[in-house]
Amino acid sequence: MSRYLWVAITIILTLVCYWPALHGTFIFDDNGYRLDHPLNTAADLYRVWFTTNGLEYWPIFYTLLWFERHIWDTVTWPYHVITLTFHLANCFVLFRILSLLKTPWPWLLALIFAIHPINVEAVAWMIQVKTTLSGFFFFLAILFFIKFLLDETKPNKNYYAALSVFFLALLTKVTVVILPLVLLLIILWRNQKISKDDFKLLAPFFLLSLVFGILGVWYQNNRAMGPEFVIYSGFMERFARIGWIVWFSLIKAVVPINLSFVYPLWKINLQNFFSYTPTLFLFFTIWLLRRFRKNLGTLFYGFSYYLITLIPFSGIFDITYMKYSLFADHYLYLSLPGLFLVLGAVTDKKIAVFLLVPIFCFLTWQLTPLYENEEAIWGSVIRHDSNIWVAHSNIAAELDRQGRFEEAFEHHKEVVRINPDNGISHYDLGINYQERKEWDKALYHYSMALKLHTHEVATYTNLGTLYNQVGQWDLAIENFKKALEIQPDFANAQMGLQQSLKNKK
């Protein structure tokens, strides 16, 4: 196929699939990262590059957000265009990589990457520009390194280009730390062995990975993870969930149906032997692939690449998102090309062209409208599984914002049913029951909010108001004083205290 025709088809099909998402508003933590984050509202970029004020040290990502915030503010379509542009650029870089590796029909595999439904979350969700941008640097580093291996001239500028671009990738999103392992795999593919000289060659890459890996763990533990985050401690639990995540992700990548913005948080029973069988089977599979590497060829390298790029999300390390789910679709953005190596080796070209491409286009086109607004995306999660508390919590907040308080009330009740430790919903339910004059229920939920250290100043103030309403002036005064101990200049508590003292007289 003509290169220009392939480029045109890829761009057209990708635009058609993602067109509904271009009109999408901010969802989930888009607001926190793009609009409200102090790094983005600062007058300059000093805090982005030279302080630890961010949730992560990803200065290139935050620099992009800073410029977007100052140029477009709340106009959302340019954010989507930039993310989609990086995604298309990744497709073209991936095409060059697959071509250099002599993979069958590289243009078709790159096209499938462009329209694969599992990538919708990374492309349609604005904040995931960190994934598409870091992916661009990641794939570009692989491309330069392959060119370096194919060029016998030493020293080679492609080596230093690969190292430089890898550094940029690490400054964008730390999960690309696994690149040196990918480069080792490429060396093994080309030479059928790995020598000490190869490790020396990659020493600068491993050093960068080590430094940024340690930095990333520090940020996760000291900045990104809030006090409500539940740590999944213990070797056995980490061991068990590796297999669950890998096999579940593989199923979703191969059969991308029933995809969800948030998946249920699995409860792994450590007392049950069968909880460990997915991981044990995974290690057995790895052993088989290693044992028959020379016979399996592309299957070994494709699956190995897939596993390597999934390491940061495999459950070995705790990350913030795990308080919602152990898996997310955007985790697979860098991993999919490994499966494409296998696809190119075992699938007939006609099946891919006439079956996979139309199906994936349709599935992606169906998914992208879900990213238009909060109500659409969280409603889809609830339809997928009604017991996901974060979906009820976020749709309740959106309904509250729209003034649809009765509908929001029902979702707040669902949140505390599913997750009794959610302080924000306890606080909101306290307000709702107070407005309904159901004093006992309001008191219960306010007390739970205080127990969970949620909105303490506002909660004490609301309790003071409630006790004023039922004529218990001493308790009202006590709660207003507690609010003012925390925040002495809180006007509502000051006025409430004055009114309580007046009423008591």
**According to the model, what pLDDT value does residue 180 have?**
97
Query: DSSP label at 316?
Result: S
Closest CA relative to residue 398, chosen from 415, 414, 378: 378
Say how far apart CA 285 and CA 482 lie, in whole Å: 60
**According to the model, what pLDDT value does residue 175 have?**
93
- Cα diameter, the chain: 93
For residue 365, CA distances in Å to 111, 369, 505 come to: 15, 8, 67
CB-based contact 209:177 (threshold 8 Å): yes
Pick left, alpha or beta for residue 297 (phi over 0 → left; psi -120 to 50 → alpha; otherwise beta): left
**According to the model, what pLDDT value does residue 211 have?**
95
Question: Which residue type does 37 have?
Answer: H
**According to the model, what pLDDT value does residue 277 have?**
94
**According to the model, what pLDDT value does residue 33 have?**
66
Closest CA relative to residue 205, chosen from 164, 155, 158, 151: 164
Say how far apart CA 298 and CA 104 lie, in whole Å: 11
What are the per-10-residue average pLDDT scores of the chain (505 residues)? 81 93 86 70 81 84 89 88 96 94 87 95 93 97 94 82 96 95 94 90 96 88 60 76 94 93 89 91 90 81 93 84 88 92 73 82 94 92 93 90 89 91 88 90 92 87 91 90 90 88 80
Q: Which spans in 255-319 are helix H?
A: 277-291, 293-296, 298-310
H/E element, 70: helix 59-72
CB-based contact 459:430 (threshold 8 Å): yes
CB-based contact 126:83 (threshold 8 Å): yes
Per the document, the length of the chain is 505
**According to the model, what pLDDT value does residue 236 have?**
87
Torsion sign across C-alpha atoms 304, 310, 312, 315: negative
Query: DSSP label at 188?
Result: H
Say how far apart CA 402 and CA 398 lie, in whole Å: 6
Mind listing the domains of the chain with CATH numbers? 17-374 (no CATH), 388-504 (1.25.40.10)
**According to the model, what pLDDT value does residue 133 have?**
97
